[in-house]
Amino acid sequence: MRPGYIWAVITKEARDLLANRLLLAAVVFPALVFASIPTAIVAFIELNELDPAQMGQIEQYLSQFPGLEPKRAAQGFIVLNFMAYFLLIPAMVPMAIATQSVIGEKTARSLEPQLATPMEVSELLIGKAISSAIPAILATWAVYVLYGFVNGAITEPVMTRLIFNDVWRVAMLTLVPLICLLSVMLGIIVSSRVNDARTAQQIGGFIVIPVIGVAVAGFFSGQATFSMEQVIIGDLVVALLIGLSLVIGNWVFDRESILTRLG
């Protein structure tokens, strides 16, 4: 593995991405939408009193926040429960960048010079994966920080401390980047076999289904957030899938077949 080739791919992809403002907006916008929904609910609760008749229905959830008054406990449950969707952002957003990275270059015929170099396929894949994942990772982190401080400003600083808890800090630093890399790797693999960006995104979108399942299961499980053990297990599973996808990508991303499809 030669870092120089990987860095060359990363810098080229970064220049292409910075020149595409629409694609950059597509990275940030979904993250803001996901974060705005629970924030709006928290603001609504802040401006209104809880209906005593509904307290019995949510008592089991509020009990997860001992020491907090009912209104703060309800808001805490909302902000933490919806944070499962922060795992959807790194699974969905990088797909557009990854598919454009390969199919866009096929159309522009800028992929041929790269494939004609002595660069190994694994180096090309790693460079493209890193350059496609970084914007989504940074967008997720930025919105996460904004989410914590905005909800704390709407309510009380305790809400910020709930959002920036140990489990989610570890998840943001480890699980989010890993999910991004996995999504990108699979997007690149699919893009190498088709010539239409929409088809590639539709096929690649199926990889988001398991993550959606985890997020939805967490939302309806009655638990406000994940445990540290679940995050660590998730890290290990996704890391293994990344290694497997790199092996598959190195086999599937065939220089000659891709160049033939360019014709």
Write down the pLDDT at residue 39.
94
Structure tokens at 199: 């088809």
Q: What percent of the chain has pLDDT over 90?
A: 16
Most confident listed range (11-25, 121-135, 170-184)? 170-184
Write down the pLDDT at residue 54.
58
Write down the pLDDT at residue 262.
45
Most confident listed range (30-34, 167-171, 186-190, 224-228)? 167-171
Instruction: Label residue 122 exposed, middle or buried (CB < 10 Å: 0-12, 13-18, 19+).
Output: middle
Render 63-99 in DSSP notation, one character per residue: TTSTTS-HHHHHHHHHHHHGGGGGGTHHHHHHHHHHH
pLDDT tens column, 106-121: 665 655 565 556 667 6
For residues 219 and 213, what is the distance between their CA atoms, to the nearest angstrom? 10
More confident residue, 149 or 96: 149
Residue 87 has pLDDT above 60, yes or no: yes
More confident residue, 194 or 146: 146
Q: Across the chain, what does the average pLDDT equal?
A: 76
Structure tokens at 200: 């590639």
Q: Give the pLDDT band (50/70/90) at residue 40.
A: very high
pTM for the whole structure: 0.80
Mean pLDDT to the nearest integer, 158-181: 91
CA dihedral 179, 181, 183, 184 (to 10 degrees): 160
